[in-house]
Structure 1
């Protein structure tokens, strides 16, 4: 019985060797990404025609699913982030807060490990305003996000990415963000 077990283990390892030697997989599958970066929120609240911006640190996570067909990648993703951006002056304060995003992306595989992509979708930002006439107001703003980036595979399951995105919300609020991420495919 011991010899049969040893023979079965040798046969299994011989059959598994070609699988382990295969090239890295494609970009298809479920993925989770931790993201962080720079957030610039333009609240557009200066009545003189100029705008006031809140710069801050952006952090959060996204979950998505991609399908690769030849060198084209189609995907969907959802994201939640938080920002430290705050605009103060004249006894008032406006804070950028959480941002939700759901959208699609379309990409083109370059070489074996890089994906250049564009994205677009719906976004919803929360903000709070307090002091000088605001009295502690919180609200949400719906909008549209567009962006572009590059994703680079580190292994079959791990990747890094960088992207720029622009979001345009109602009431004259907009955001420019530059983010990086580390993610895993499941």
Structure 2
């Protein structure tokens, strides 16, 4: 029987019932590569994140910081991505507003909360919401009510009204829009 010997560095060691794993090779950042190497890693990681979905400047800063990159590397990476046109919070705000209005059926307050959660600047949110008219909000609320009426049709009218009112309020629709849509739909 041939015995293969392992070096002590690659074998787990037991000490007092606790298994101590050997240290793995240090990552390139820990090896002390030049700033350019780490900068390239930051850019690569940011591009990988952007390949999944569009992200705001704040989201990328948070994720890069969480990954362990320095603030200087993060700033250079963000600047590079902005110059390349890969990060644009204004376009992202408009895209997310359209998505949250059409797909998620959110009202103005719900959209604002959604955009804040995604890291969009409050100025950009205000700018995007001013373009979002009440007609668009009413249309979104109508679609939502029509969809929900299909599932609530077996309930008494009072219960339907109460549930729809609560659902619309939780989605961030204004009381004016809710009143108008409820009057038209029921």
* Global fold match (TM > 0.5): no
Structure 1 or 2: more helix by fraction: 2
Q: Which of the two has higher C-alpha Rg?
A: 2
Indicate the structure with greater strand content. 1
TM-score, length basis structure 1? 0.24
